[in-house]
Amino acid sequence: MTGRISFQGELGAYSHAACRAARPDMDVLPCRTFEDAIEACLSGEADLAMLPIENTTYGRVADIHSLLPNSGLKIIDEAFVRVEIALMGLPGAPLSGVTRAMSHTVLLGQVRQFLRDRGIGTVTGADTAGSARVVAETADPTLAALAPRLAAEIYGLEILADGVEDQSNNTTRFLLCSRKADPDRRAERMVTTFTFRVRNIPAALYKALGGFATNGVNMTKLESYMVGGSFVATEFYADIEGHPEDPPVKRALEELGYFTSQIAILGTYPRRRA
């Protein structure tokens, strides 16, 4: 497939790495915000958008949960990227000479032990790949960046230490979104993602989810979040295994409809391995 894929961040970011892994033949379009990445896809400037949805260490990406349901985009695939962190600096700069490391505040929290053991201070950057760019532009051998290896390749930096993350299983799940989706697409294992709002009646959520249990449909994700600035207006975001036209899934969704005021299917796509 040719075309262009948008993502939030600078070249060399983890979202860029996800684009390269999932669609290596596509050009990339870095965007300043998640809204910009979504809008680029909606407008046709990009054919697809790569959006992070959750991380094994830090949980959900709240912005995406609020933006995606109303975006008009459809989820067509998922991708998993291991968060492997590299310390990178100017070519020829020794690790022993590094006194400060720059990165996004979330990433800095994932390398505390490494930095503590080496007495390296931290500098908060706007994002990971942007920090690598700053190190390259600053040309200070005592300043290094913590970012994906891809960033070192793009900004001409040298990897001083690799795999410095405190947790070796840290992984981010991404959703690949498009303006259109093929509702008849099938794979051995499918995932259906949808949102719903329960009616304001006693035990509504319990009753709404009962159909998935009685029909043997596995729900792999369920999260709630407030909508419209109200403590009583709650929307749920869910992933289930299966296709909406599978008889058990179809029956479960029909039962869900009795106890909800709104259901929106965001996408049906193949299950990938983390």
pLDDT single digits (tens) 208-225:
899 999 999 999 999 887
Looking at the structure, do residues 174 and 155 belong to the same domain, yes or no?
no
If one counts the domains in the chain, the total is 3
Please provide the size of the chain in residues.
274
Q: How many Å apart are CA 66 and CA 235, to the nearest integer?
A: 10
**Sequence-separated (6 or more) residues with CB below 8 Å from residue 246:** none
Higher local confidence (pLDDT), 190 or 202: 190
pLDDT of residue 23: 95
Rounded to an integer, what distance in angstroms lies between the CA atom of residue 123 and that of residue 135? 11
Query: In this structure, is residue 77 part of a structural domain?
Result: yes
Q: Are residues 40 and 72 in the same domain?
A: yes
Strand residues in the chain grouped as ranges (E): 4-8, 27-31, 48-55, 59-60, 74-82, 86-89, 100-103, 121-124, 143-147, 158-162, 171-178, 190-198, 219-226, 234-241, 260-270
Compute and round to an integer the Cα radius of gyration of the chain.
Answer: 21
- φ/ψ (deg, to 5) at 128: -70, -55
Do 29 and 74 fall into the same domain? yes
* Structure-block tokens of residue 174: 């991404």
Q: Are residues 76 and 174 in the same domain?
A: yes
* CA–CA distance, 52 with 193 (Å, rounded to integer): 15
* 174 and 47 together in one domain: yes
pLDDT 10s digits, 122-181: 999 988 999 999 999 999 999 999 999 999 999 999 999 999 998 888 899 999 999 998
Q: What is the pLDDT of residue 110?
A: 87
Same domain, 77 and 92: no
Residue 249 counted as domain residue:
yes
Active site residues: 172, 174
What values do phi and psi take at 64, rounded to 5?
A: -70, -40
Report the largest interatomic distance among the alpha carbons of the chain, rounded to a whole angstrom.
66
The whole-model pTM stands at 0.86
Structural domain that includes position 132: 86-162
